Amino acid sequence: MPTVNWFLDQKGRNVFSVRQDAPVLKALELMAEKDCGALVVLDDQDQIAGVISERDYARKIILERKASIDTPISEIMTAKVVTVREEHSLDACLRIMGQHNIRHLPVVRGRKVVGVLGIGELVTQKMIVKENEIRDLKTYINGAFAYR
């Protein structure tokens, strides 16, 4: 299975982020604009402070009947962020996402966020790899029987 570095080279390394002191509404607007389900939350030194997702919003704003315009992102973000490095395999990332029940995985180089992986795109990539393996095996088998 390919590495995170390879995958980010293919899909792009865009990281959409917000500040932890910004209102939740700002995060929602950016998620809608960028058509993404989560954002990296940065502190005042541009270091990762957390992740905010649509799930955080649904559970910690809507269900608790808070106002997204008055609530800072720091109140609802997931602060214990699980990250991976570029040398991780995509299979390892899928395992990590399953173990931690998360759908978005920031990729770090040192202390800098260099990408974000979503579970949907990883599953799609895994399917492509498996389809290619099946095609290659069929080609091999057909070629092996053609020489008998």
Model confidence, pTM:
0.84
Q: Alpha-carbon distance 18 to 41, whole Å?
A: 5
* Per-residue pLDDT reduced to its tens digit, 121-143: 999 988 988 888 888 888 888 87
Maximum distance among all alpha carbons in the chain? 74
Q: Alpha-carbon distance 82 to 30, whole Å?
A: 22
- Residue 2 has a pLDDT of 87
* Per-residue pLDDT reduced to its tens digit, 68-115: 999 999 999 999 999 999 999 999 999 999 999 999 999 999 889 999
- Residue 139 has a pLDDT of 84
13-to-7, 74, 113, 129 alpha-carbon distances in Å: 9, 24, 9, 21
Task: List, in order of start, the domains of the chain with CATH numbers.
Answer: 4-118 (3.10.580.10)
Euclidean distance between the first and the last CA atom of the chain, given in angstroms as a whole number:
33
User: Per-residue pLDDT for 119 more than 60?
Assistant: yes
User: Per-residue pLDDT for 144 more than 80?
Assistant: no
Report the sign of the C-alpha dihedral through residues 14, 12, 115, 27, in that order.
Answer: positive
Neighbours of 70 (CB within 10 A): 10
